[in-house]
Every structure is written in C-alpha cells, then in structure tokens.
C-alpha cells in the first residue's frame, strides 16, 4: 500500500475533483476529509479482499468477537498509521496547504459503547489485525451512539449522538449478506419424515438484518479484518404488515440506540431483542460462510471460535444450538459437543447489580424456540450435576433458570469451554468468590487474561511529542514491539533524556490547557500538577473520594491562605448513566465545588478543578498525554481491571491506586517505590462484609478532617447543592458508606501528600515517570490477544501471506 508523496498528491486532487468537482482551495474540511477517507478506503479494499481470500483458501480457523459494544473513536489517523500512510499523507497535505489535524477534527467519534468493555473490544480489533490473526468483530450498528454530555447549571444533560448524519466513509453495506431474524410467534415440535423432531412456527415476526462492514486494518502488515455491525430493516415480504408509521418505528428502534446504562440491566424488551438480533444474524452468517468451505458440520469447531464479550451475547449458545439442531439436523449430544468447543466467555464485572437476568415470560414471548432450548440446557445441566455433587444446594445457585429468571452468566458459563476474568485479582475472585460454585464444577474452564491497550493509538498517535523522544532515545523498535520500551530504563539517570521527556509532557500539558481554556473557559497553568480521573461515573470508582480530598485542600487553603500549597489541577472526565441518580449527584457536586474553588481569590489559582464535558475517546487522547497523576481509586475488589490505568502509565503519569484490578499488576511491573498505593485490601473488604463491623459514622465522629469535609456538603460552604449535598452526606453517614470512602480517606490523603512532595523533587519525579513508561509494554493488547488466540481460540496468524 506504500506510495510516494507525489503519487498521493496526484491521487488526492484527482479524487477531490471526481467526487466534488472542486480544487483544494474551494473545498471545506469535510469535503477534504471525505476525499481522503474515500481514497484510503479504495486503497485498503484490495488488501481486505485479499485477506479474506487468504483465510478462505487456507481454510483458516477464525475467531468472532461478539460484543454489544465497540468504541473505536475516530478511525482516520489510526487507519493512516496502520496503512503506513501517515507521514506521506501529512507531508502531501501540508504541501497543499492542508493540516491533517483539521480533517480529523471533522470526523465524528464512533461511540458505540459505554466505557471499558467497548473500548477493550476496539483495542482488541486493532491488535488482532496487527498480529495478523484471523479475527472479526460482530456487533450492532446503532444509529445513535452514546449520548453527548452537556452541563447545564452543573447538571448532566444528555443529547443524542447523531453520528451518522455526516456519513461514514469506513463502512460498506453488504446487501448480499443480509439475513432474516425471527421474533415472537408460537412454536411446537413435530416429527418429520425421518422421525426427527422439527419446530413448526406460527405468527413469527421476520426482520431483516443488514450488515455494515468496517475494515480493521493491521499495523503495516497488509491484513485487513472485518468488524461487522448489523442494522435492522423491514423485509420486502413483510412491508404490507407494517403500515402505520408507529409500527415501523417500533421495528426501526431495534438498532436505533445504544443502551447507556452500564450498571443495571433494565428489563426492556428492546434490549433483549437487540441481544438476540446481532447474535442470530452473526451466527447465521458464520454458518453460511462455513458451508462454503464444504467441510462437515460436526467439525465446525475446527474452523470457528465464537467469543462472548460479557453476558450480553450469551444467547450465542442457544442460537448456535438451534441452528445445529433445527437446521443442520444434529442430535442434541452432537450439537452440544460442538457448541461447547466453539464458545468462550469473558466476565467483565463482579458488581452484582450488573449481572444480567431476564424474566422467563419475556424470553418465552420474544424467543419461544430459544427459550425451549435454554430450558433443555438447564434440565440437562441439573440432571448431570446431580450425579456429580453431594450438596444439592449448589444446583440451586448455578442453574440457568431459577426464581422465574434466566441467568445469563450461568448460561454463558455452562455453554463455554473457557471462562476468563480480565486481571489477575479479578480472575482469582471469580474462582474463589463470585463464581466459586462453577469453579468447583468446571475448574479447567477458568483462566485469566489481563486486559491490554492498543499502544499505537494511545502512544504513537495520541502522544507524538513523547513518541519522538522515544525514537531518539531508544530507536523505533518499540513501535512494533512495545516491550522494547524497557530499554528506556537505561536512561533513568540521564538528565538529558529526563529533560526531553519533561519537555514532551510540558507540551502536552500546554495543549490540554489550551483545550480547557477553549471549551470550559478556565485558565490552568502547566506548571501545576495535572491530576486526572477519567472513567464512567460510578459509586464504586469513588470520584467522591477524590472530591473529598479536593475539598480538604480547599479548606486548608482557606484556613491558612498564606501557607505553602503546591498548585494542582484536578481534571475529571466522566459520563453518568442517565438513570443513575447518585452518579449525577456526584457530577453536580464536583461542578459546584469547581465553581466555588476556581473563583475564590483566596485560592490564588493554586487549586483548579476542571470537569471536562462529554468525555469520549477523542478527549481521552488529549487528556492522557498531559496527565501527571493517574487516579485509580476504586474500592479494592470492585474494578475488574481498568484500562485507563494502563494508558496513563504508558504516557508517563504516576499512579495513585488501591490494590484493585490491574493496578496490582502495574505495581508489580514498576515496583512499590514507583506507584502510590493506599487503602484497604480486597481481603479487608471481604472481612468487613463477613464481620459486619464497618461503621462509617465512627470515622465522622473520630476524624475532625472528615467531619469538616462532610459538613461542607450540608452547611452551605459549597453553594447550590442543598439536596445533592444532603444525598451524599446521607449515603456516607446514614447508609453506612457502601464503598468505604471514609475508611480509605486518611490513607488517600497521605498518599496525595507524598505525591506532592515527590513532584517537588523534579528529578525524582521524572525518573519515576520514566520507569512507568518503560514498564508499560507488558500491557500491550497485542500480547493479550495472542494469549486469547493461543489458549482460548486456537487460531493462528496467517502463514502464507503475499500482498496481492
């Protein structure tokens, strides 16, 4: 795909003229963006076709990553990088008087996900292609992505994200690959001519699933995999049934919006229908492809691996069974044997309220045949387990159908050969606590796959100043092999290198400061410590602990205006689920505290609070390179892994963290001295649960600092939070502080004081920052997906590969 600058310029001008009948001078950034996008698209399409042919000819086993969320962000820069076009295009455009950044600016973020789970899926897509692995995404093409967040009077307001309104240059609609997905109706089983039971359906609703494919381009390897997203339509044959606008709207709503609630599954039919819709369409298209290989159906597991990303696609299991039984004519035993070999499942959360369950009636009504199959899986599970265990109560706790509900995690576990958590601690907790019963039944299925991040997006693209220092210091091999960042350790006492790293950080901080000025009209100084907490707003992530520490700092300054206080900018980015009232309350409290602190002359700009609106992937790409401090302060045991912790570390931020999720592995990588650990351990948390001895009010009574901080929430110190301040106060004192914020407050404050002291010692700080960058390579998603490929999917990189 390589070309020269001159070739690019010629082609670009030609394409612009063909597309818009225009010259460069007259074109708008959007027109220029579309021109470049379309040029890129044509250029990688042949590689895409070639990759696909190669997999087909080699009959390679392929993995299909089923995820209800993908969160790629913008694709232009990362596609350019992976195509090895970035420099040529930048230079070529510059020659035409165009800044590439002005073009990428007009691209809309593809935000078809809520947070960690969706972003992980997209990092994996990048890494799978970059490692030359045959793996594809399967999901939903939501017409509206995650809501856009605005603050009005400090409150979060949600606006629709109409991301497709400006078109999408990367996707290709594939009409020929559309399939039908059926809902509702009645079903009964009848014997066919061969004496086999076959389902007979009445009154089904038939919908059309149309795929839109987006190329997932590997890093400089000519591999282009596929992310297939499904969109709903009314089939021609059914047109006459849906006459009224309202009837049509109900159908079209199916793939209209991404559910923005990542804390509790709401019992909505649409959500359940979404889950079945993309699962059924995806599996049908896989089986259809499999038949072109002309291999016998009972060997499908040798060619296909299906991954269930969290429980949302767990219907993969009964749907795959349905096709094997009803369409391929397999016996139950044969069908179950292949299903188990094909399926694998990742758990992403241990929060009980996020465990997905559906009422039996709803499943039965929407998916009568699937429900029959789930019932039979459940019946056989019970029958089999009864023979294995002495204590019958385990069956009650593990079966799929219980208390009128279908437990999706149980379905996913019972139907998969591999079950993994996303960090060492998380995977251990699954085995010992959360899924202990299942672990005792199927110990061999359980394994760990610590999350990873696409280092190309989060360092090479997001942080070019740092990348260029790295190139000059250790050469460029880290770009292919992030573990080579280790070589940086040789320079930890080299003041010239430390200065260069500090200069890169400074440049990124200036860049973020400019963005803060532009978007929030707040002036911040790059001399201050930039302290960053960016993630979904959740009680367990404890943005409140951060806020309480800020209020303490403010009170210290007020009580002693002339005392020394090292300047800090506290930066937040977070969306709250629209229905999550408490999370919204915290947003309001942070915003009002910001208002108070940022405008108080006594503070003399030593303390600033910035809550950036509409946190998303693109904003993260600006914030992360500028961070000095990375806040990873969830209550131990609650954060499955975290991935912003890895991104911030990679960009030289120093972490303040509890021993939770992947923070533990970060500590192991950098050493105790190069991270600031505080707070109770997961064991202590469980001990409190067991002994029931936690008393939040006693901390309020004993600790005058805590008392003073909490009183600020209810005594008018922070204006405009009469009800919100009371709600926070009550959550801690009246309802006994579910996430042990008061328990960890003192040790958090101490850790923060240590950070300030350390930062004042510039050289020491720079060295710690370097050590963090140098050790971040182990968190490359390339390594993570290779482990999935070897241990779970049993897929191999394409062997014989010739470009075209």
* 776 Cβ neighbours under 8 A, 6+ residues apart: 455, 482, 485, 646, 649, 650, 669
Out of 538, 647, 743, 767, which one is annotated catalytic?
Answer: 647
Q: What is residue 418's three-state secondary structure?
A: strand
The answer to whether the beta carbons of residues 407 and 335 sit under 8 Å apart is: no
Residue 619 found at the interface with ligand 26V (CB under 6 A): no
* 280 Cβ neighbours under 8 A, 6+ residues apart: 179, 181, 182, 209, 315, 319
- Based on the residue annotation, tell me whether 196 is a catalytic residue of this protein: no
- Cβ of residue 113: shortest distance to ligand 26V, in angstroms? 8
The alpha carbon of 323 is separated from its chain's Cα centroid by a whole number of angstroms, namely 30
Nearer to ligand 26V, 54 or 641 (CB): 641
E strand intervals along 7-128: 62-66, 70-73, 110-112
Residue 677 found at the interface with ligand 26V (CB under 6 A): no
Nearer to ligand 26V, 261 or 684 (CB): 261
- Cβ of residue 449: shortest distance to ligand 26V, in angstroms? 10
What is the β-pairing status of strands 205-217 and 110-112?
Answer: unpaired
Q: Which stretch binds ligand 26V (CB under 6 A): 180-188, 254-262, 677-685, 717-725?
A: 254-262
Out of 301, 307, 536, 606, which one is annotated catalytic?
Answer: 536
- Cβ of residue 262: shortest distance to ligand 26V, in angstroms? 4
* 780 Cβ neighbours under 8 A, 6+ residues apart: 127, 452, 453, 455, 482, 483
- Cβ of residue 638: shortest distance to ligand 26V, in angstroms? 8
Out of 399, 456, 457, 541, which one is annotated catalytic?
Answer: 541
Binding-site size, ligand 26V (CB under 6 A): 21
The answer to whether the beta carbons of residues 510 and 530 sit under 8 Å apart is: no
Helix or strand run (H / E) with residue 361: helix 360-366
- Based on the residue annotation, tell me whether 535 is a catalytic residue of this protein: yes
Euclidean distance between CA atoms 436 and 139, whole angstroms: 30
- Based on the residue annotation, tell me whether 647 is a catalytic residue of this protein: yes
- Based on the residue annotation, tell me whether 536 is a catalytic residue of this protein: yes
Handedness of CA 33, 38, 41, 46 (dihedral sign): negative
Residue 593 found at the interface with ligand 26V (CB under 6 A): no
In the list 124, 259, 713, 739, the residue contacting ligand 26V (rule: CB under 6 A) is: 259
Euclidean distance between CA atoms 500 and 591, whole angstroms: 35
In the list 639, 682, 737, 782, the residue contacting ligand 26V (rule: CB under 6 A) is: 639
Nearest to 411 by CA among 315, 504, 326: 315
The answer to whether the beta carbons of residues 774 and 489 sit under 8 Å apart is: yes
Helix or strand run (H / E) with residue 200: strand 197-202
Residue 568 found at the interface with ligand 26V (CB under 6 A): no
Euclidean distance between CA atoms 667 and 664, whole angstroms: 5
Nearer to ligand 26V, 120 or 406 (CB): 120
Residue 641 found at the interface with ligand 26V (CB under 6 A): yes
Nearer to ligand 26V, 641 or 655 (CB): 641
Q: Report 308-337 residues binding ligand 26V (CB under 6 A).
A: 310
Out of 301, 445, 535, 584, which one is annotated catalytic?
Answer: 535
Euclidean distance between CA atoms 321 and 230, whole angstroms: 21
Residue 115 found at the interface with ligand 26V (CB under 6 A): yes
In the list 9, 117, 430, 500, the residue contacting ligand 26V (rule: CB under 6 A) is: 117
Residue 685 found at the interface with ligand 26V (CB under 6 A): no
- Cβ of residue 115: shortest distance to ligand 26V, in angstroms? 5
Residue 261 found at the interface with ligand 26V (CB under 6 A): yes
Site map (CB under 6 A) of ligand 26V, residues 411-440, x = contact: -----------x------------------
What is the per-residue burial (b if ≥16 Cβ within 10 Å, else e) of 301-327? bebbbbbbbbbbbbbbbbbbbbbbbbe
The answer to whether the beta carbons of residues 574 and 536 sit under 8 Å apart is: yes
- Based on the residue annotation, tell me whether 348 is a catalytic residue of this protein: yes
Nearer to ligand 26V, 109 or 275 (CB): 275
Of all residues in this chain, which one has the CB nearest to ligand 26V in the complex? 116
Nearer to ligand 26V, 324 or 422 (CB): 422
Q: Burial, 804: exposed, middle or buried (Cβ in 10 Å; 0-12, 13-18, 19+)?
A: exposed
- Cβ of residue 643: shortest distance to ligand 26V, in angstroms? 5
Q: Which stretch binds ligand 26V (CB under 6 A): 134-142, 197-205, 257-265, 393-401?
A: 257-265
Q: What is residue 507's three-state secondary structure?
A: helix
Task: Cite the active site residues.
Answer: 348, 535-536, 541, 643, 647
Residue numbers at the binding site for ligand 26V (CB under 6 A): 114-117, 120, 259, 261-262, 265, 310, 348-349, 354, 422, 451, 639-643, 661
């Amino acid at each position: 795909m390589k070309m020269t600058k001159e070739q690019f310029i010629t082609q670009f001008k030609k394409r612009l003229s063909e597309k818009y009948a225009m010259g460069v001078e007259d074109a708008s950034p959007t027109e220029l963006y579309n021109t470049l996008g379309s040029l890129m698209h044509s250029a990688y399409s042949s590689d895409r076709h070639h990759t696909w042919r190669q997999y087909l000819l080699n009959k390679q086993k392929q993995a299909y990553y089923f995820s209800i969320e993908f969160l790629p962000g913008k694709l232009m820069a990362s596609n350019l990088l992976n195509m090895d076009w970035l420099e040529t295009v930048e230079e070529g455009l510059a020659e035409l008087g165009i800044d590439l950044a002005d073009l990428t600016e007009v691209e809309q973020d593809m935000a078809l996900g809520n947070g960690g789970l969706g972003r992980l899926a997209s990092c994996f897509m990048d890494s799978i292609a970059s490692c030359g692995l045959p793996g594809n995404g399967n999901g939903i093409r939501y017409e509206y992505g995650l809501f856009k967040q605005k603050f009005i009077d400090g409150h979060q307001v949600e606006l629709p994200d109409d991301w497709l309104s400006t078109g999408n240059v990367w996707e290709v609609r594939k009409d020929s690959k559309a399939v039908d997905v059926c809902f509702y109706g009645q079903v009964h089983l009848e014997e066919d001519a061969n004496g086999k039971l076959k389902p007979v359906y009445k009154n089904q609703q038939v919908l059309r699933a149309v795929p839109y494919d987006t190329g997932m381009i590997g890093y400089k390897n000519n591999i282009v995999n596929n992310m297939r997203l499904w969109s709903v339509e009314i089939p021609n044959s059914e047109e006459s049934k849906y006459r009224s606008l309202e009837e049509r709207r109900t159908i079209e709503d199916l793939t209209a919006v991404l559910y923005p609630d990542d804390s509790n599954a709401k019992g909505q039919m649409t959500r359940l229908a979404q889950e079945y819709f993309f699962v059924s369409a995806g599996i049908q298209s896989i089986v259809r492809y499999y038949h072109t290989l002309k291999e016998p159906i009972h060997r499908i597991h040798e060619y296909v691996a299906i991954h269930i990303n969290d429980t949302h696609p767990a219907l993969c299991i009964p749907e795959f069974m349905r096709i094997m039984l009803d369409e391929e004519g397999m016996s139950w035993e044969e069908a179950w044997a292949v299903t188990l070999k094909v399926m694998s499942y990742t758990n992403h959360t241990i929060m009980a309220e996020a465990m997905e369950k559906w009422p039996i009636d709803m499943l039965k009504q929407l998916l009568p045949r699937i429900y029959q199959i789930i019932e039979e899986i459940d019946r056989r599970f019970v029958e089999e387990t009864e023979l294995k265990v002495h204590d019958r109560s385990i069956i009650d706790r593990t079966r799929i159908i219980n208390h009128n509900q279908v437990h999706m995690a149980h379905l996913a576990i019972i139907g998969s050969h591999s079950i993994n958590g996303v960090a060492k601690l998380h995977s251990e907790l699954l085995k010992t606590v959360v899924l202990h019963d299942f672990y005792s039944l199927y110990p061999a299925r359980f394994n760990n796959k610590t999350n990873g991040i696409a280092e190309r997006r989060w360092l090479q693209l997001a942080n070019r100043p740092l990348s260029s220092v790295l190139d000059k210091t250790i050469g460029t091999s880290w770009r292919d092999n992030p573990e080579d960042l280790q070589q940086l350790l040789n320079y930890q006492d080299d003041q010239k290198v430390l200065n260069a790293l500090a200069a890169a950080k400074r440049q990124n901080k200036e860049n973020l400061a400019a963005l803060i000025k532009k978007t929030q009209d707040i002036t911040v100084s790059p001399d201050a410590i930039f302290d960053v907490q960016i993630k979904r707003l959740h009680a367990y992530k404890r943005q409140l602990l951060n806020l309480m520490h800020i209020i303490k700092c403010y009170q210290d300054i007020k009580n002693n205006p002339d005392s020394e206080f090292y300047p800090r900018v506290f930066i937040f980015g977070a969306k709250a689920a629209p229905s999550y009232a408490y999370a919204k309350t915290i947003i309001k409290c942070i915003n009002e505290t910001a208002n108070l602190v940022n405008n108080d002359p006594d503070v003399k700009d030593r303390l600033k609070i910035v809550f950036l609106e509409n946190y998303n992937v693109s904003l993260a790409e600006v914030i992360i390179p500028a961070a000095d401090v990375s806040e990873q302060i969830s209550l131990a045991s609650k954060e499955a892994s975290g991935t912003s912790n890895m991104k911030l570390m990679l960009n030289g931020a120093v972490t303040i963290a509890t021993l939770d999720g992947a923070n533990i592995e970060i500590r192991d990588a950098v050493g105790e001295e190069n991270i600031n650990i505080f707070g109770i351990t997961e064991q202590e948390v469980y001990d409190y649960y067991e002994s029931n001895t936690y008393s939040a009010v006693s901390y309020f009574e004993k600790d005058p600092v805590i008392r003073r901080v909490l009183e600020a929430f209810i005594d008018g110190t922070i204006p405009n939070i009469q009800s919100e301040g009371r709600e926070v106060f009550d959550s801690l004192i009246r309802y006994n502080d579910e996430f042990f914020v008061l328990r960890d407050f003192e040790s958090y404050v101490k850790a923060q004081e240590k950070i300030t002291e350390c930062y004042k010692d510039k050289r020491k700080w720079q060295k710690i920052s370097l050590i963090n960058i140098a050790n971040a390579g182990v968190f490359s998603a390339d390594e993570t997906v290779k482990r999935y490929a070897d241990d779970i999917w049993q897929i191999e990189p394409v062997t014989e590969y010739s470009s075209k």
